[in-house]
Amino acid sequence: MDAEGAQQIVSALELIHSPKSSNQARQEAQQFLEQVKRQDESPLWGYELALPTQNAIVRHFGLTLLQNSINRHWTAYDEEKKLAIRKWIIDLATKLLDNDPHYLKEKLAFLWVSAAKRCWGSYLTADENTKAGYQELVQGWHTMDSDLLQLWMASPQTRDLVLSIFRTLFEDVYILDDPITSGRNSMLCSSCSNVLLPQSLIDQKYEPDANLKESKASKEGWFLIWQEFLNECIRNGDHSGVIKTLETLKTCLNWPTGTLITQSQILNTILSTLVIGNIKIKILSVNCLHILFTRSFSSPDDQDQITGTIFKPEGIQLLSRIYNEIQSDPDDIDDEIYSCCKKLTEAMVNLSEHLPNIDLKKSDINGYFKLILSSTASQSLTVSAISLNLWGYMLRETDKISMIEPFLFDLLEVAASKMENFAEYHEDHPAQKFLEVDFNSQADSYTFVSSYKKLIDDIVRLVICIRADEGLLWLNQRLESYFSSEIGNKAITSPELDYHREPFITIIAQLDIVTAAVKGVIRWKIWYGNADYNEKLDGLLQKVESLLEKLLAMDVKDPVVLKKFTQTYVQFAPLLKDNMTFRVIERLLTVATFESPPNASDDLAAAVKDLRTNCGTELNRLGFLMPENLKAILDELETVFQNLLPRLSNTEAVSFKAFLLVVSQRSSIENKEERFIRIVEPEIASWTDPDTVKGLSDLPWFMERLGIVKIAEYFESRGITADTDLLNTPMDEQGLRLKTELKDRWSALFPIRSTRLLIQYSIEKLPKDSQDFKNLLKLWKPRVTPIIPHILQLLYQIQAYHNPDNWKQLPAIVQSFARDTTIERFWQMGVSIQSRDEFMEESVKAMHTLRDFADSVGHIIRYTREYVFLSLATISQLDDTFYSVPDIADVFWRAATGENVGITLHSWKHMINYMLRPVIKNCPPNYVRTFMPQLLPQMFNTLDALLMSKWEKVYISGFQFDEDDAQLSEEMMEEHLLRQVTQVVIRLLVDCVGQYAYKTPLTDTQLEIRRVVFDNKEILGPFLRLICHVIMFKDSRCSYNAVLILRSILQDIMLKDDEVDKFLCDDLTKSLIHVLTDDLYREAQNETAYVFTTLYITMFTRGDYITSVLRSYFPNATDLDIQTLKLHLSQAKNLKEQRNVMLVFLHTVKQTDDDDEKMKRARNKQIEQIQRKKKTESDVLNDPFTENDALGTLFGDN
């Protein structure tokens, strides 16, 4: 490059980096530099600009030119030019200066590896005895090991460069899913092993290969070189050298032969770095240990040398010492120390995988489990959680229990202390301080704590199962101690507790412990198999009964705590004799009429209402668990219920009727049909009641039934206008009387809740081929079919009510009031500007103002709508009852979306989740061809239009920067809900056609839907349009899942129809290329590449149209690029290799920026994701969430 050209580049770089430059000047300078990149001479110019005579910015651009030439033009270069580029890279490496910035060294390392992974080892052939010619050796960079060895010995800065080069290379070959290295995997792996291992070990383990031997520069190999250097750094106190060497060693501990690991005694070297007082070194050392503890060894002796050493007393003592040294004070959490603690805990727990193979006589097993138990007891729930699956596994495996026997009750004590719901504590609690560091949002924290609590519950259950007698004794002593304490006494005697303070949280925890213990005894009945089973069982049941009697005798004041007590009583049911079961029912009936104290707050009154409703739920749970035991007293219970009815609300009464229905239909009692008719007919008849029919007939009557006319008359009497601020207008006595009157009306507004509960409770969990279900179906079908139109009309009227166009003929005050009722007010964790307490305070304030009328009407409308959703989902479970109604799909969709103007995202989410998905999934296969062709085109088109319009609004608002906090919070809420709606739409699509690699096989209904969709362009078109749009929304999770759906269907829709094929080539290609070229979708790009590769290869068999479409997106692509793509695709042996070819092509031709930091962040993120994926999946039969929570989803709604 001449001086003038160099100066032009320097001037352009100065313009770009100068803060004084205008945007136009920067853009012109950037365009000039882009032109420089496209010149044939750019690699030479890059070399010249990267020489040390230039400043760092110019040198960096020079390296970028070289990087660009390798990435985009390597395959087009002849061997002479490739060799020249390699020589320039080596020359630049040797000229590295001591004071060169780190980013230059890192860039040079990436540059070296970019060239190496494209050519190194290309001379290797399948036949180890065939000697490569000189030219082949040169083309395959056979001197690279020698070049690196010379750099290693040249200077400290080049030594650091060598470490960076190998670290980057090993990550690309062995860790990352790099398409270039994947395509040359065999050659690169052989070459890496060859230079890493000592020659003596290669001779011992592998067949001789003349070409490999030719390219190896040292007999000892890099692993031993680095180990020796690491030892030297340790001796000299060179912490920087220790860090850099460990970073590279970490990348080559997992894949070389285990003999190298053991013969080198690298474990001792790493252990010696573990005690260095530098936290970065400790973190790296722990990472290395983690890899050694989890890697596989082909030889048991090699494995034993690693794990056996650690399990020795001195090894366990060292781990214990280090673990204790890196504990964090919750008031002063050091991120690096805390991170190291979590990683060390993971490494310690992973050691457990080797317990079956170690020599127990030489190992300190007790010391190991003592150390693990100390981590379980950590104040950090994240640290504590790491060991929970280990304890669960050891407790489930009978032959493992003896190992942890000395710690069972210490473990039980720790688990019991962790049973509290730490998410409810205030932020000053130690556990909350750690959670704040661990999670970015409260929502994630809540999810984690919920899962953590289930695992803790499982440990208590399993320990009690194993040591049932001693466990129940321990539990009694614990409860006596707690309830005799000041906190326990307050928890029982206080009429209204603070739900974020210790008394409430701890008493709930005690009851959770009781529940877990009861489940432990239930498990004992299955698990215990000794000859004294009956004798032991009698003793246990006596202890259980005694415990229940104590709980029944407690006089609990707080309604929320009392609700938890009632739930706990029912958990005892499988262990109780009939007389104790009746006492539980008696207690539930007593609590069902619990009255609010005089002048109770609104919150307390709501808690009492919830308590009373819950009693009905728990009664039904009892009916479900033991109908046969209860049939003898069913008539007596019916009489008791009749006497209670005057003291129960309509809502509460329905649960009691459902209980009678459940017991009568699931037991062997006589006159089932007569009992069914007596309970069900009055509720079904309500749908034909004149007032109900009138209220459903049109919107004005619907609003009148809601009480809006009376409210309007009251507002008029008080002079309220459309402009009145209801939140600042207090409620008077007349308003309170009207509110009470309307509440009574609202409790029985429409019979939707009672209909749904009676059906759902009666058929819950009944197999469809069981006689009980068949009998119920005969009884339900003729009664449900006539009311389906009424239910759908109710849904239509609710949706119509939310459309402001339907209010235009109403008085202004009624319009204003209706608008207020449709406003959804809810608090969203991490999104709302208000705190939860502030939101609740405003809600309580509103209860004493006229806005309470709007809030109450809005609530009852939304509540009724959700029960309509749930009812239709329940009815869809009644075989063909719903689907056999003529033209039901059209009527159903009109009811749901015919008036969709006022449907909010929140309501869309619930409608899809609660109603649409069950209706799709429950469709009998023989009704798919009549139901789905009516429903699916409308559904896909409507959802597509909804999502497109809402996402467009998000994109537009994203470019506005003048919003105030309230507006910004509202937009954040809207976007948060939009992402949730998009996710449930994805689940709906999976319900229809399945998803690639889904955890369950396709159902008969899904198989039939696939046939209907794929054979009908009127359905397939809207479906594909929706999928293509979802893929492109700025939500990588949704994009990823949509791509998986496509992968599951693509082979079934290609080459069947020319119009469909053209859509796939045009529209689907656009969506897939969008994902493949935008780093936002990095997590989805691998799967997307599979789909696009399949699409391209298949469509190419029909002609070159797909190629022309592809070229339209990549104007940089040359004829040679396209020819190379086709050639390599044809040579690839399988789809993965073809995908790698496509990724290399895309990487070569797409427009990319040169942001090294961005690339580095993306690279590190990919490494983290790969490491997370390596976690083993649990066995569902041993999953506590499955085994321990069989009834967890029953009766979840009231």
pLDDT in tens, 251-275: 999 999 999 999 999 999 999 999 9
Residues sharing a CB contact under 8 Å with residue 1077, sequence separation 6 or more, in sequence order: 1113, 1146, 1150, 1151
977, part of any domain: yes
What does residue 329 show for φ and ψ, rounded to 5 degrees? Answer: -80, 125
Q: How many residues does the chain have?
A: 1198
Domain holding 902, by residue range, is: 886-1053
Residues sharing a CB contact under 8 Å with residue 135, sequence separation 6 or more, in sequence order: 79
- Cβ(794)–Cβ(750) below 8 Å: yes
Q: Which tokens hold the place of 74?
A: 């390597």
What does residue 332 show for φ and ψ, rounded to 5 degrees? Answer: -150, 70
Q: Which of 74, 68, 56, 57 is nearest to 17 (CA)?
A: 57
Q: Which of 283, 289, 295, 404 is nearest to 354 (CA)?
A: 295
- Cβ(152)–Cβ(142) below 8 Å: no
Write the DSSP symbol of residue 356. Answer: G
509, part of any domain: no
DSSP annotation string for 210-241: HHHHHT---SSHHHHHHHHHHHHHHHHT-HHH
Q: List, as own/partner pairs, every contact residues 1052-1057 make where C-beta atoms lie below 8 angstroms and the sequence separation is at least 24, other chains included.
A: 1052/1010, 1052/1014, 1053/1014, 1053/1020, 1053/1024, 1054/1095, 1054/1098, 1054/1099, 1055/1098, 1055/1101, 1055/1102, 1056/1014, 1057/1017
906, part of any domain: yes
Please identify which residue in the block is written with the tokens 């808690």. Answer: 607
- Cβ(826)–Cβ(974) below 8 Å: no
Please identify which residue in the block is written with the tokens 């009557």. Answer: 701
Residues sharing a CB contact under 8 Å with residue 546, sequence separation 6 or more, in sequence order: 476
514, part of any domain: no
991, part of any domain: yes
962, part of any domain: yes
pTM greater than the 0.75 cutoff:
yes
898, part of any domain: yes
583, part of any domain: no
Residues sharing a CB contact under 8 Å with residue 1197, sequence separation 6 or more, in sequence order: 870
Q: Provide the pLDDT for residue 126.
A: 62
Which mean pLDDT values do the consecutive 10-residue runs of the chain (1198 residues) have? Answer: 76 84 86 86 93 92 94 91 97 94 94 96 79 91 97 96 97 92 92 96 90 92 98 97 97 95 95 94 95 91 91 96 95 94 96 91 96 98 97 95 96 97 89 94 89 97 97 97 96 93 96 98 94 95 97 96 98 94 95 88 87 94 93 93 90 93 94 95 90 82 88 90 88 89 79 94 94 96 96 95 89 88 69 59 76 88 94 98 97 96 93 98 98 98 97 76 55 87 97 92 97 97 98 95 97 96 97 94 93 97 95 91 94 93 91 66 74 47 34 37
Report the number of distinct structural domains present in the chain: 1
Q: Which tokens hold the place of 534?
A: 């009956």
What does residue 39 show for φ and ψ, rounded to 5 degrees? Answer: -75, 145
Distance CA 620, CA 762 (A): 10
What does residue 730 show for φ and ψ, rounded to 5 degrees? Answer: -70, 155
Q: Provide the pLDDT for residue 1195.
A: 43
Distance CA 1175, CA 83 (A): 43
- Cβ(752)–Cβ(791) below 8 Å: yes
Distance CA 363, CA 787 (A): 71
Q: Which tokens hold the place of 30?
A: 């950037």
